[in-house]
Amino acid sequence: MSTTSTTQTLSPSTSHEEPRSGTWDGGNEPFKASYGKLMMWFFLLSDAFTFAAFLTTYGLVRHRHLAYTGDHKDFVFSTAYWPIPDHVFNSFPGLHGMNLPLAFVALMTMILIFSSVTMVLAVEAGHRMDKADVQKWLLWTLLFGATFVSCQAWEWTHFIHGTDAGTKMLDGTTFFGANLHMNQYGPVLFADLFFFITGFHGTHVFSGLCLLAYCFIATTNGTFEKRGHYEMIEKVGLYWHFVDLVWVFVFTFFYLV
């Protein structure tokens, strides 16, 4: 910063005095991050607490229910105990009737993680001010993200429609699939939480897709080029990685443990 022109006008007999200028002494960005990026970080911190509350809810509710204690091979769906995810999520589109535990969700997760990789590449291209590359990688990210949401839609549909056999409920009727009041796979709260938490996450992914679409349009129109930087992409990137990271936790809670 230019300083020389200012100090001569101080009251007489003063020496040259500048305020301190360390990292935290003000007049700069101590985290070397613009206010917009900081805001995104703080928003994500806040959002992490929202998700943490939901996952805590999941843990507490699950703890209140009985676990299945018998042999894995003999497992049948019952409202009396929490289901084993391997048996709930074992189907794959186009492969009806095969037992493929967690195969589809593993694929979904891979796709989402790939979208994070392409996001990183878009941000990197933005640093190089390479418009074409930013467009390319944003499109890939959009594609992977949209695929993930579509997969989730399929997963939900399957979950709602249920298995071929259905489950005999307490009142003697056979029920197929699940909704917010009834659940063939186990206690009704298993379905409630599944819909609520994966739905909340899916809403986040969908919002991310809207942001990415906006970024793609703005990049194509040259908005960021005129602005001289692609920081917006970086901010959306932070959000996108966060949503991916949250999925890892949701995945762990619902499918693995």
Partner 1 sequence: MAANIPTNSQVQGGIGAAVPHTGHDEHHDEHDHHDQHWLFKYVFSQDHKVIAKQFLITGIFWAILGGTLSSLFRLQLGWPESTMEWLTPFLGKWIEAGKLNPEFYLALVTMHGTIMVFFVLTAGLSGTFSNFLIPLQVGARDMASGFMNMLSYWFFFLSSVIMFTSLFLETGPASAGWTIYPPLSALPQAIPGSGMGMTLWLVSMALFIVSQLLGGVNYITTVINLRTRGMSMSKLPLTIWAFFLTAILGLLSFPVLFSAALLLIFDRSFGTSFFLSDIYIAGQALPNVGGSPILFQHLFWFLGHPEVYIVIMPAMGMVSEILATNSRKPIFGYRAMIGSLMGISLLSFVVWAHHMFITGMNPFLGSVFMFLTLIIAVPSAVKTFNWLATLWRGNIRFTTAMMFSIGFVSLFISGGLTGIILGNAALDIQMHNTYFVVAHFHLVMGSSAFFGLFAGVYHWFPKMFGRMMDEKLGYIHFWLTFLGVYLVFLPMHYVGIAGFPRRYYAWTGFDTFSQFADLNKFISVAAILAFFAQFVFIINFFYSIFRGRRATENPWNSTTLEWTTPVVPGHGNWPGAIPAVYRWPYDYSKPGAEQDFIPQNVPYSQTQSSNLPYEREME
Q: Does 189 bind partner 1 (CB under 8 A)?
A: yes
User: Which residue, among 245, 226, 244, 224, has the nearest Cα to 234 in the 3D structure?
Assistant: 224
Question: Residue 80 CB, nearest distance to partner 1 (Å)?
Answer: 11
CB 41 to partner 1: min, Å: 9
Q: State the nearest-atom distance from the C-beta of 183 to partner 1, in Å.
A: 10
Task: Select from 9-17, 133-141, 204-212, 223-231 the region that touches partner 1 (CB under 8 A).
Answer: 9-17
User: Is the CB of 107 or the CB of 182 nearer to partner 1?
Assistant: 182
Q: 53: how many CB neighbours lie within 10 A of its CB?
A: 10
Which ranges of 65-198 does DSSP label H, i.e. alpha helix?
Answer: 85-88, 103-127, 131-161, 188-193
Q: Measuring CA to CA, how many Å separate 60 from each of 88, 179, 189, 246?
A: 21, 21, 11, 19
User: What's the rounded Cα separation, in Å, for the pair 126 and 38?
Assistant: 19
Closer of 46 and 69 to partner 1 (Cβ) = 46
80 binds partner 1 (CB under 8 A): no
Q: Among residues 41 and 140, whose Cβ is nearest to partner 1?
A: 41
Gyration radius of the chain over CA positions: 26
Given 72, 73, 96, 181, the residue binding partner 1 (CB under 8 A):
181
Instruction: Fill in the amino acid letter for 60.
Output: L
Q: Is 222 in the site for partner 1 (CB under 8 A)?
A: no
